Amino acid sequence: EPEVTQTPSHQVTQMGQEVILRCVPISNHLYFYWYRQILGQKVEFLVSFYNNEISEKSEIFDDQFSVERPDGSNFTLKIRSTKLEDSAMYFCASSVTPEQYFGPGTRLTVT
Amino acid sequence: RKEVEQDPGPFNVPEGATVAFNCTYSNSASQSFFWYRQDCRKEPKLLMSVYSSGNEDGRFTAQLNRASQYISLLIRDSKLSDSATYLCVVPRGSGGSNYKLTFGKGTLLTVNP
């Protein structure tokens, strides 16, 4: 069964550093998403991406965040200058119907 | 009313028990709903989609009451492997099949031997 994959599984970075989280969506999916989950809290929408552009973004997704689909398979989330409060689990998801399928997540720890 | 609100739980039930979770949503225009399950520190996994009044899949039944803006998930004959957090999820469309998912906080279920 096809799956969404994400790398790395855990990223530790210092405040102010840039990080890039990588995702490989399911191959025939058209819509791509990033969500985050701070420990103990609910899953929150960050951004959706379709046809090589952002469809919608939340207020969390400020100028420090960007997304890119650099080739036919990868989908990346970049955080330009990380803050302590960016520490969370970041999930990539993809879909072709309303149902979204999630990757295993990248745990980002900002120290 | 919050966008998506769930029973806070936790629920502790013995194996074989029947358990039900409730969820209310605020957007009366919502047409579809999902239940996901999430194991500790893992990704949400799709359990059921609800597009009409309800859906059944084996031991799991989801029911929708549009007038009350209420969704429920019933698990019959609980197994140890059902222990997880159950997430009520309401999609909001932004064109085509592009949806933003709004998650509830989840209800933790522990099934005991």
- Residue B35 to residues A101, B32, B40, B46, B51: CA-CA distances in angstroms? 12, 11, 16, 6, 12
**pLDDT tens profile B69-103:** 999 999 999 999 999 999 999 998 766 667 899 99
Q: Answer whether A38's CB lies under 8 Å from A87's CB.
A: yes
Three-class SS of A18-56: CEEEEEECCCCCCEEEEEEECCCCCCEEEEEEECCEEEE
**pLDDT score, position B36:** 98
Candidate from B97, B103, B104 with C-beta closest to A98? B97
Residues of B in contact with A101 (CB under 8 A): 46
Q: pLDDT tens, position by position, for chain A (111 residues)?
A: 889 999 999 999 999 999 999 999 999 999 999 999 999 999 999 999 999 999 999 999 999 999 999 887 899 999 999 999 999 999 999 999 889 999 999 999 999
Cβ separation of B94 and A96 shorter than 8 Å?
A: no
Query: What average pLDDT does chain B have?
Result: 93
Strand B70-75 with B33-38, pairing: unpaired
- What distance in Å separates the CA atoms of residue B14 and residue B19, rounded to the nearest whole number? 10
Q: What is the C-alpha separation between B39 and B43, in angstroms, rounded?
A: 7
